[in-house]
Amino acid sequence: GAVVSQHPSRVICKSGTSVKIECRSLDFQATTMFWYRQFPKQSLMLMATSNEGSKATYEQGVEKDKFLINHASLTLSTLTVTSAHPEDSSFYICSVGRDRGTDTQYFGPGTRLTVL
């Protein structure tokens, strides 16, 4: 498998502020990482694909100016929620694909964001 970490695990912020979430691949150099969002009792929704050294690819309906993704190195991708609102409160999870020949994804532990 792959070891993936996220920081912070929980964050509470005021409406209008920005929050940065880090995703690190600890034992594997990942050219691609994925960002998901999950609301309570809902499915994981893919937000974007983070590509090292190039722009992220966003899914339809996800505002790229609101959810800024930076994949500056092979082990780190960051997601910044800008001008956060209460409706952005969710569980944000990143993942890394590692195994060649399959698309097995290994997930980070997730970040619980609460916007007041």
Partner 1 sequence: GQNIDQPTEMTATEGAIVQINCTYQTSGFNGLFWYQQHAGEAPTFLSYNVLDGLEEKGRFSSFLSRSKGYSYLLLKELQMKDSASYLCAPSSGNTPLVFGKGTRLSVIA
Interface with partner 1 (CB under 8 A), residue from 11, 13, 44, 68: 44
**Residues 29 and 75: beta-carbon distance below 8 Å:** yes
Residue with tokens 């912070």: 8
Options 81, 93, 113, 115; binder of partner 1; rule CB under 8 A: 93
CB 13 to partner 1: min, Å: 19
Q: Which residues, including other chains, have CB under 8 Å from residue 68's CB and lie 6 or more apart?
A: 79, 80, 82
Among 7, 11, 13, 49, binds partner 1 (CB under 8 A): 49
| SS3 state of residue 87 | helix
- Shortest gap between Cβ of 77 and partner 1 (angstroms)? 13
* Residue type, position 30, single letter: A
Each residue 94-113 as x (binds partner 1 by CB under 8 A) or -, in order, gives -x-x----xxxxxxxxx-x-
DSSP tag of 9:
S
Residues that bind partner 1 (CB under 8 A): 1, 34, 41-44, 46, 49, 91, 93, 95, 97, 102-110, 112
